[in-house]
Structures are given as C-alpha cells and as structure tokens.
Amino acid sequence: MTAGGLACLALALALRPPPAPAAAPATTPVVTAAEDLPPGTVLGADDLAVVAVPVGLAPAGSAADRGELAGRVLASPLRSGEAVTDVRVVGPGLWSQVPGGQVAAPVRLADLAVATLLRAGDRVDVLGATGGDPGGAAPVVELVARGALVLSAPATTDPDARVGPAADSGLLVLAVPPDTARQLAAAGAAGTLTVTLGRP
C-alpha cells in the first residue's frame, strides 16, 4: 500500500466516531440492613440502607423504600448488607409460613447456644422444666410441644458479632396449634424451656 493510501486509512480511522458505551444494566432499589441486626429490632432509618441491584436479581419479598419497613419488627437476625424481605419481619410474610390451623408462637429458650443450632424449617420438641433447687431436688421436665416447625431462629454464636449471645436471647418463632401456644406461654412463665431436634 502506498504512503498516500496509508495516510488516508489513518485519517479515516481517526475520524471514525468512538463506539457507543455499553448500556448500563437496569437496576432496582432494594432495602438492606445497614449493620448486623438482632431479632426483635424495631427498624428505624439508621438501621436500613438502599442499594441498587440488577433487575431480576432483587430477592422476592424485598422492599424498595425504607419507609415501607420503618417500625417493623425483625423476626430473625440480619447481617449487614442482607436484604430485608417480608419473611424477615413480623407480619404477613412470616405468617404465610404457618400451616393452616396453627399460630406463630415466640419461645425464648434458657440456653442461647441451643437456639443457634436451629434453622427455619427444623422440627423440634419443646421441653419445660420447673422446680429444682440447690438442695438436690431435680426439676420436673415435661414435653410441652411435639414436632413444632421453626419459623425463625438466631443465626450465630459468634461472640464478636451483634447477632449473637451479646445481641439476642434465644428467641425462636414456632408454628404450633393454638392450645400448644398457650401451654408454651404458661411453661415459659413457670420455668425454663429447651428443645430437642427432630427430623424436618
């Protein structure tokens, strides 16, 4: 190719318009936890952040505005940056997991370490212990609930995390028949509760 031809080619390349930038993917706002939050937290503006995620990747049941979640109560712990979905707060999302004819009953266990072994979907038997004294009398232990479905539970035993022994106190939410919910409330008021893990 002659020098003139090369010069023309170079000029054509120089004058060619730059390629159009790739279109940014469409996003949608999603409300997340601004920091680690324990169950029972009444959500305020400082607890929440809004991030943009690609459309189609937003978790089901997530919120787009912090105002939608202000004043709601967390039913389970959240890690910083985790989306606050409807099943994480006390309300219809959590209740939708309750089988027909049952209710959601909060149960506070005496030993947090036991509670953190559990996950939503587990089945547990709840034991209530009353009596017992330093003189040697053994406590009376009875089965209060059998095969209760765990709806939410503490998530970690990390002592350095806000979501852990320093932050919550062994609160579970269980799906049980109404009569059993009353028995759980009475047993919790009269003594201490623990659970044994069964098959899901």
168-182 confidence digits (pLDDT tens): 456 788 999 999 999
Residue 45 belongs to a domain: yes
Does the structure show a pLDDT above 50 at 158? no
94-103, 109-118, 130-139, 188-197 — which one is most confidently predicted on average?
A: 188-197
What's residue 144's pLDDT? 93
**Domain span at residue 136?**
97-198
Compute φ and ψ for 5, nearest 5 degrees: -65, -40
Q: For position 168, what pLDDT does the model report?
A: 46
How many angstroms separate the first and last alpha carbons of the chain?
Answer: 77
- Quick one: pLDDT at residue 30? 94
Work out the burial of residue 161: count CB atoms within 10 Å of its CB; fewer than 13 is exposed, 13-18 middle, 19 or more buried: middle
Q: pLDDT tens-digit profile of 58-73?
A: 888 899 999 888 888 7
Where helices occur in 33-135 by DSSP H, the ranges are 92-95, 112-115
Domain boundary (41, 68, 90) is at 90
Q: At which residue do the structure tokens 């799906």 appear?
A: 175
pTM of the model: 0.53
Q: What is the pLDDT of residue 120?
A: 76
Q: How many domains does the chain have?
A: 2
